[in-house]
Homo-oligomer: A and B are copies of this chain.
């Protein structure tokens, strides 16, 4: 009798999993397969499964509808002549906290699949999930307290300055190079993508380490519970083990395994790479091939992008759902959202606009004020800013890679911005190009009735006006609020009509929100 393990009920957008025992001879990762067909009234999904070690094969499914479903498993890991594996299950309504995968709406913006607004407030902790249980718990707590709703992190371990220790696990069977020789001064001499892959690694790239992936799944699940999207960086160049220099076949095996394991989690995003252009052995053809694997094998069409070091990937490619941007120059970062929106015609996610901190590198030592300024500049232009922190630390635990505790000042102020963004009528802001040259102004993306608009969010960035003169029209009344983005205060003023002055405290980081009187919240 087959040992089929699955729950007979699952909530919408949760993971339905079928687990079967089977052959262990040969290499189960490559010699056998498992696939599932999941059928309900409104969808019919085929999904690849994966070998999870110890003779266990699994296939996962994320239902997008409620109701009765059936499944049918096709496989090659059971004895010939085994009966079809099939069954039934019921999909109940989604848990209250699960709004489904994040989707692109309105060309430049996001929402959850159930229509709930999603304004990305992201952070980066590259390998937080490969740290100790204690540190992981601390990171999850920090993420929740800060209110982040997206985190970027890597499937592979990371080799880089401040990242020279051993990860808690490796993705493959085998043994790593001796890391005790590594120092901040010599680590580049061991970096594969710099042509310095050293002998001493012994990996079987055809045999995964299921514990590595199971653990990442636990982390994705824990993020999901907290309303945090897991922006998975599937490849990256910070490598001393050769994971960035596998063959095409090995890469494809990895991509299929990653997708089979992770795609059924509602909160997964696919980041094909961090700094794809620092992987000299991967060509554009390779990246396009990985993309085609995702497009083919991810039945849920999770968000897909790819992050640059120098040159942007061509974000107009049809498989790319949103831009994942590292700023290309030292001075202008979020300020370029207008250009990027126009250039790519997609949501602009600013995953790297320098990080708050004090390490030696210019990408990791801006002030909290500057980080927050970049957040507001991005958000009001209709972009989605991202955070991280790089503070020097005796224990070498830097949020940017390891997670842990937040030490900076900017994160305390993101929830305030997020709350304001949630009050945007419709989905998302767009830059109001006709505003003054010395102000940033966001207006609702969906509001097109020029010249009278309903909702304006002005921001003065590093400027410190003691007042501003506003004029919209002679007919309508406007409610005005003076917002201090740093001190997180909202002071109501008004109503006003015609041309009027709004006094400001002559400090930086001030904003003014203007709503046409009578505009009902979210009623657009």
Contacts and interface: CB of A to CB of B under 8 A. Distances in A.
Chain A, interface residues (CB within 8 Å), range: 20 to 34
A46 interface: no
A225 interface: no
Interface stretch (A114-122, A206-214, A361-369): A361-369
Contacts of A367: 462, 464, 508
Contacts of A463: 362, 365-366
Nearest to A362: B438
A317 interface: no
A463 B363 CA distance: 9
Interface string A162-187: 00000000000000000000000000
B508 A465 contact: no
A460 B508 CA distance: 21
Contacts of A357: 464
A520 interface: no
Interface in A427-467: 436-439, 460, 462-467
A414 to B, nearest CB: 20
Contacts of A365: 463-466, 506
Contact of A332 (B331, B466, B469): B331
A362 B465 CA distance: 7
A517 interface: no
A330 interface: yes
A36 B465 CA distance: 53
B392 A464 contact: no
A464 B463 CA distance: 21
Given A330-B437, A332-B332, A438-B361, A366 B462 contact: yes
A464 B364 CA distance: 9
A409 interface: no
A113 interface: no
Contacts of A362: 436-439, 460, 463, 465
A522 B31 CA distance: 76
Interface string A185-210: 00000000000000000000000000
A383 to B, nearest CB: 15
Interface string A342-381: 0000000000000001111111011100100000000000
Given A360-B469, A362-B436, A367-B464, 18 more contacts: A330-B335, A331-B331, A357-B464, A359-B465, A359-B466, A360-B466, A360-B467, A360-B468, A361-B438, A362-B460, A362-B465, A363-B438, A365-B463, A365-B465, A365-B466, A366-B462, A366-B464, A392-B466
10 contacts: A330-B437, A331-B331, A332-B332, A360-B468, A362-B438, A362-B463, A362-B465, A365-B464, A366-B464, A392-B506
